[in-house]
Each structure stands twice: as C-alpha cells, then as structure tokens.
Structure 1
C-alpha cells in the first residue's frame, strides 16, 4: 500500500521548511501554519485592516529572492517563535505577532537581498488563511515516484523539498496522482479530494542545500513530459490527524 512519507509546512512564505511527524487537518482548511505569514516587499496591496489574498509578487519569495535558500529556519509549535540561522553562524529569533521584534531580521534581510528589497519590509498575516500562490485553502501533495522519474530523465538528483509540498507519498506509479482530480483518497482516516495539478515555477530550480539555481526544472518538465506540472492540490474533506507511515487508499486509477 502507498504510504505517507513526509509532512512539511513552510510557516513563512519563501523561507525554509518545518518537517513534522504528525499534523491535525481540518476540513476546508489548509495545513496548519503553512504559509501563515509572508513578508511584504515594500508597499503593496496587502491591507492589514482588510486582509485578503494578494499575488505572490508582493512578498519576498524564493522565485524572486533566491538567496533566501541560504537560511535555515524553524518555527515553534505555536507558530509564533520564528528562528533563522545564517551562513555566518548568527541566529535571529523573532516573535511573528510582535512587530517590535522584527527589526533585526529585517536588517539582515535588507543586507542579504540589497536592491531586491523594494521598500520597508512588513509581515503579512491573515488568520485562518494561508498566503499560498492560490487563494483556495488547499494542501499540496507530491508523489515521490514522479520526482524519481524526473531524476532519471534529467540525470540529476532532485530533493522533493524543491517542490515545497505539504504531503509526500510513495508506493505509486510515476504521475499517478494526476488521475486523482475530482476523486477522493484516504490518508489514515482523513479524506482528501484532488483539485488541480500544480504548475511549477523557477523556485523549483533552486537547490535547497546549496541555494544555487542549478537545474531548470520547469524547462525539464516541459522537455520530457510536455507540461510544467508536478504534484496536485487537494482539499481536506474530513478532519483528523495524519501521521508519517499512514497508508494511502486510492480511488482506483494509479495504484501500484
């Protein structure tokens, strides 16, 4: 039976992952604390008095600010204490909900990113909504076999974390997940529904270890498969916990 092999959240958009053993999912919501915060890159259209989803170009993001991949990060379980570890050994910890604590982090980011910073930095947060690339509260799922197939075609090792997915599953045929759109699957006791394929951008080209843009994955996908998609978005249909090692029950098509 296919199994869930990794659970990952990215508490601050564009920054590094938190790897989890278990997570409680709620029907109709995104994975808790995933992209719960983002850093506005200069004055933009985000209005904290009337918070709503805005396009990713208004925030610091890996696709635009590749140097962010140099930082190792960690968010505490409550989603408030956010720590960045810098290449020179400095560690900066802030409280996400306390603007008075953000100055040291913003100063380091301005020095790191230089002219890529368009103005004053500011955290954006919408309670109960993820600041993902799409406005819908979906969870992203990656099929490890699809990533391995892409490795074979390109001749390069590819860490699945490049795709910044929430759930990684293994034990399927490559690309079987594309058959799940409009269908339900079970992970543990939680029911999820396939919603759409995920079109990939230049952020996947950045090596999460070296922070170098070393492989044009959107172009590789297009060359070898005729599309730039990897992974699918899924909606959570029933609430419950999922845990690494949980079995994945499939709708029929695609089971190995």
Structure 2
C-alpha cells in the first residue's frame, strides 16, 4: 500500500485542496481547518449552506500571515492577515473553541459572494476547526466501490479525506479500527468509520448537489456513530475512517503505508 493523494482545506467549507506533502502534527495536517466561516449569529456555517462556499479556493501562508482567495470567475484577491480580539464559539455542541476575527476586506468579500452575512475567523489552537479527529483516511478501493454502485466516477474530494491510500480491497480501512499505520515519517491510530452527511453530495468545484451519495451509501454501508460518545444521537452510513496521530512526521504522495 502507498499514499495515493493528500489533501486539506485552510478554511472550512471552501474548496478541498490537493497537496504533494504534508507535515502531520499531533492535531492534524499543519494548516488544515485552522480557519472557519461563521454566520450572522456567530455560529458555524451549517452543512446545508456549504454549497455556497465550495467554489472558493483559499490558500493561507501562516509564516507570511497572508491569504489568497480565488473566485470561480478567476478573480483573485490577496492581502495580509490581521486579527481582532479573542472570542469563544460553540463547535457543534461538542466543545468551545477560541477564535479571533480576521480583519480587513474578507468578511465583505465572502458576504457579497455568498449573498448572506459571513465572517472569517482563525482558531487559536492549530487545526481548531477539525470536527472530530485530527485525520480522516480512505482507500482507493472504497472509492472505486462507491463509484461502481453509483455508475460514475466519484471525485475523492467529495469526502474531504486527508489521506487516500492505494489499496486493493474495498473498505479495508474498516478492519484497521484500533490498529496503527505507518506512512512516511508518521504513525496513525485508526479509529471507526466517518458518519456521512449531505456534504458528500456536493460537487467539490461548484457546490451543486449532483450526486446521490448518501442514498448509495445507505444501501450497503452500516450506520455508525461518532467515536468517544460525541453527539450520541447522530448516526449515518460510514465511509472512510478517522485517525489519531501517534507519531508526527512528514508524509508525501507515494510514501509506503504499513499496517503495524
């Protein structure tokens, strides 16, 4: 097995980005989901509204404190990042997250594009916008199986998994629950499947709801819950797996993957 692809997103809800290598830290891929979008009430943008922001490609250089935002028409804006005072928001009823508002033109640009009030914030903690576990992973064989059932190729970005692992057996990652994986310099502890929602039906470039992925998964995948008793009443078909970081390190596309 080997690492087929790597991905992350600097700003939650925006377009998922492919990368050639990643530094896996204790809290996830460096830079992944450090920034979040809030609505007019100061709440996280709900999954039903993610489609509005998926066409946006956001890149952030933390070292230089700069952000670039590319719009579907090719227009690109870039500017330094400055921050306001710290505030605390609720994250899905799971935990409280400290954030700082990003100052400047960003809120106005995002609001104008989405047609609804939108605020950009940066989490105080690295990877503070990650929902459950630091990493998610899926195998190429699992993606091939869901593509077969849907009768069309499924873009892996729909599942927003950090790691796509080249493997021959569909849903082999289910059998890794509680096992460790070595990939590149890092070691991960694989956890249970990821319960899936409507976001997987959204086109990763346009945000259009144009794939019946949830019904397809419901037809053959068991419902799973979020690990560690979080959101105990939430259960949907599982696809891909969560993982925790045992040993941080650099991972690159093409690195071997070994089950320990």
TM over 0.5: yes
Q: Which residue of 1 aligns with 2:91?
A: none
Is 1:62–1:68's contact at 8 Å kept on the other side of the alignment? no
For residues 208-255 of structure 1, give each alpha carbon's deviation from its aligned partner in whole angstroms, at most 9, with x where no partner exists: 13321101312210013344211111111112211111111124xxxx
1:175 has 2:160 as partner: no
Q: What displacement does 1:12 show?
A: 0.8
Q: Which residue of 2 aligns with 1:51?
A: none
Q: Secondary structure, in 3 states, of the residue corresponding to 1:93? A: strand
- Give the total of aligned pairs: 231
Q: What displacement does 1:102 show?
A: 4.2
**Distance in 2 of aligned mates of 1:79 and 1:229:** 38
Q: Which residue of 2 aligns with 1:234?
A: 243
Q: What displacement does 1:139 show?
A: 0.8
- List runs of 5+ in structure 2 lacking aligned partners: 85-100, 224-236
Q: What displacement does 1:175 show?
A: 0.2
Residues 213-232 of structure 1 aligned to structure 2 (within 5 Å): 213-227=209-223, 228-232=237-241
Q: What displacement does 1:62 show?
A: 5.4
1:38 has 2:36 as partner: yes
CA distance change for structure 1 residues 65 and 142 in 2, over 3 Å: closer, same or farther? same
Find 2:69's aligned residue among 76, 80, 84: 84
Q: Which residue of 2 aligns with 1:52?
A: none
TM-score by length of 2: 0.80
**Distance in 1 of aligned mates of 2:64 and 2:18:** 13
TM-score by length of 1: 0.81
Is 2:82–2:104's contact at 8 Å kept on the other side of the alignment? no
Is 2:3–2:256's contact at 8 Å kept on the other side of the alignment? yes
Q: What displacement does 1:122 show?
A: 4.2
More strand per residue: 1 or 2?
A: 2
For residues 55-79 of structure 1, give each alpha carbon's deviation from its aligned partner in whole angstroms, at most 9, with x where no partner exists: xxx2235542312122233223637
- List runs of 5+ in structure 1 lacking aligned partners: 45-57, 252-256
Q: Which residue of 2 aligns with 1:3?
A: 2
Residues 118-133 of structure 1 aligned to structure 2 (within 5 Å): 121-133=119-131
Q: What displacement does 1:179 show?
A: 0.7
Is 2:179–2:190's contact at 8 Å kept on the other side of the alignment? yes
Deviates more, 1:10-19 or 1:146-155: 10-19
Q: Which residue of 1 aligns with 2:45?
A: 60
